[in-house]
Amino acid sequence: MERQIETRLKERDVRFTSGRRWVIAALAGSEGPRSPAELHDEIGSRVPLSSLYRSLSVLEAAGVLVPHFGMKGVTRYELADWLQGHHHHLICVDCGSVEDVSLPREYEERVQALVDDIGAHVAFAPIDHTLEIEGRCSLCA
């Protein structure tokens, strides 16, 4: 995966510096999207907050990361679909945590068909979709 990212960044004249590698490593080891604050807790002072924010937006612009806008206005980032596969989100209404979930191919095809159908009926060109399922996670249940 490191390789894929290296290639992608090189194409765009963006350097894959050590700070950025820390960010990617932290996200690669996560079960779901992470906020800048959470990443900073995990990475520590090796990447100061201001640099962390900058790295996140650079990596987002390069298509390596994708933002997810969660409860209370917190932005969380995760690796883009082409790096970790398409998936959906389970959002806990109590603690706000977000977990990834991948659907079996058959289900995913149903969702995709639905989205295409909708696009065909309204003045809107669909690019991507996420099924956001709100509920209570195992810890808060």
Partner DNA sequence: TCTAGAATGAGAATCGTTCTCAGTCATTAG
Partner DNA sequence: CTAATGACTGAGAACGATTCTCATTCTAGA
The site for DNA (CB under 7 A) is made up of 13-15, 17-20, 35-37, 47-51, 53-55, 57-58, 72-75
Indicate the helix (H) or strand (E) that contains 16: none
Q: Of the two residues 10 and 110, which places its CB atom closer to DNA in the complex?
A: 10
DSSP state of 104: P
Q: Are 55 and 23 in contact (CB under 8 A)?
A: yes
**CB of 11 or CB of 69, closer to a second copy:** 69
Distance from C-alpha of 115 to C-alpha of 27, rounded to nearest angstrom: 28
The token pair at 44 is 């520590």
Using the minimum distance from each CB to DNA, give the nearer residue, 15 or 110.
15
114 binds, among a second copy, DNA, none (CB under 5 to 8 A by kind): a second copy
Place of tokens 């806008």: 69
Give the residues lining the site for a second copy (CB under 8 A): 67, 69-75, 88, 90, 93, 99, 101, 103, 107, 110-111, 114-115, 117-119, 122-138, 141
Here the tokens at position 7 are 């290639």
